[in-house]
Amino acid sequence: MRASYSYQGVYDLGTATDPGTRLEHTWGEAELVAAGYPRHPSARQSQQEGTQRGRCGVCGHSVRYVALLRGHDLRAFLDVCEPCCATLTESELLLVDLTREFRELRYHAAREHGRWRARASFEQQCEQEPALLWASYACNLIATGGRHDRTLRTLASIAGQAERVGAATQSQLAYARALAERIGLEPSLR
């Protein structure tokens, strides 16, 4: 008979762009310890052997996505990879929830990675194109209440679209240059 488990959460421990999920994992562990659930002995053993967080407490593999499971019969918690969740849980409903959460976590991680890549590409293009850099500051200039609000809003729109996609098109760059020159921003860039 398998032990009774419930999950505290599913976490992404490998993300470099968003350390918040690691922090949430640590808080989840702290809550379990405060509730009287120590780390499972097998997981504690692997930590003493020098392995780091991000290892499955069942199979020992290094993993990015873990479910923080609370063993009610064992009165302990451990990190478990997705394949091992099926071997530990006897509740089909819990397994469906865990599978859904793992899927959502991977989806959001891929989406965040895409945003991060687009942002890096946009910043690189801003370094090469001064008019796009001015366009990225247009929202700040609008807030000062300048007299070129309409032109600045157009520049801000160009920058926003370019940031979402990762780069501005040649026509957007040409239009941004013309708008920047029209309101006198271009000469101070050189």
Domain boundaries, the chain: 5-110, 129-189
pTM flag (> 0.95): no
The two three-digit tokens of residue 69, written as one number: 């499971």
Tell me the average pLDDT across 46-73. 72
Residue 131: which pLDDT band, with cuts at 50, 70 and 90?
A: confident
Whether pLDDT at 172 is above 80: yes
Q: Are 155 and 135 in contact (CB under 8 A)?
A: yes
Q: Are 80 and 67 in contact (CB under 8 A)?
A: yes
Separation of CA 47 from chain center: 26
Q: Are 187 and 143 in contact (CB under 8 A)?
A: no
Angle at 13 (CA atoms; ends 9, 14), nearest 5 degrees: 150
The pLDDT score that the predictor gives to residue 188 is 45
Say how many C-beta atoms besides its own lie within 10 A of residue 187's C-beta: 8
Q: Which of 86, 85, 99, 176 is nearest to 138 (CA)?
A: 176
- The average confidence (pLDDT) of the chain is 79
- In angstroms, the CA 49 to CA 43 distance is 10
Separation of CA 9 from chain center: 16
Burial (CB count within 10 angstroms: exposed 0-12, middle 13-18, buried 19+), residue 92 = exposed
43/160: higher pLDDT: 160
Element (H, E) at 6: strand 5-12
- In angstroms, the CA 95 to CA 2 distance is 14
Q: Is 132 helix (H, G, I), strand (E, B) or coil?
A: helix
Q: Are 64 and 71 in contact (CB under 8 A)?
A: no
Residue written as tokens 């199979």? 59
Percent of the chain surpassing pLDDT 70 = 82
Side chain identity at residue 138, one-letter code: A
Q: Are 88 and 7 in contact (CB under 8 A)?
A: no
